[in-house]
Amino acid sequence: MKKYAIIASLLFIAALMGSSCKKEKPIDEDGLLITTRAECYVSNFELLGADFQTVRSKAPVIDTVACTIKQEVFFGTDLKNLWPQFTLVTDAKLDPKITGKVDFSDLANPKTYTVISGNRQVRKTYTVIITVQK
Question: Which tens digits make up the pLDDT trace of 2-16?
Answer: 666 676 666 667 666
In a domain, 19, yes or no: no
pLDDT for 5 equals: 63
Q: Is the peptide bond prior to 26 cis by the omega test (within 30 degrees of 0)? A: no
Specify if 58 maps to a domain.
Answer: yes
Asked whether residue 128 is domain-assigned, the answer is yes
Label residue 95 by pLDDT band (50, 70, 90).
Answer: very high
Residue 108 has pLDDT above 90, yes or no: yes
Q: How high is the pLDDT of residue 41? A: 97
Domain count, the chain: 1
Flag whether 16 is in a domain: no
pLDDT at 116 exceeding the cut of 90: yes
pTM for the model stands at 0.80
Q: What is the pLDDT of residue 20?
A: 53
The counts of H helices and E strands in the chain are 1, 7
* Residues 31-58 pLDDT 10s: 999 999 999 999 999 999 999 999 999 9
CATH number for position 103: 2.60.40.2340
In a domain, 18, yes or no: no
pLDDT-based confidence at residue 22 (cuts at 50, 70, 90): low
- Please report whether residue 92 resides in a domain: yes
User: 56-89: per-residue pLDDT in tens?
Assistant: 999 999 999 999 999 999 999 999 999 999 999 9
Instruction: Look at residue 1 and tell me if it is in a domain.
Output: no
Q: What is the Cα 32 distance to its own chain's centre?
A: 10
| DSSP element (H, E) containing 63 | strand 61-63
Q: Which of 105, 125, 96 is nearest to 30 (CA)?
A: 96
Residue 50 forms part of a structural domain = yes
Domain that holds residue 96: 25-132
Average pLDDT over residues 108-122: 98
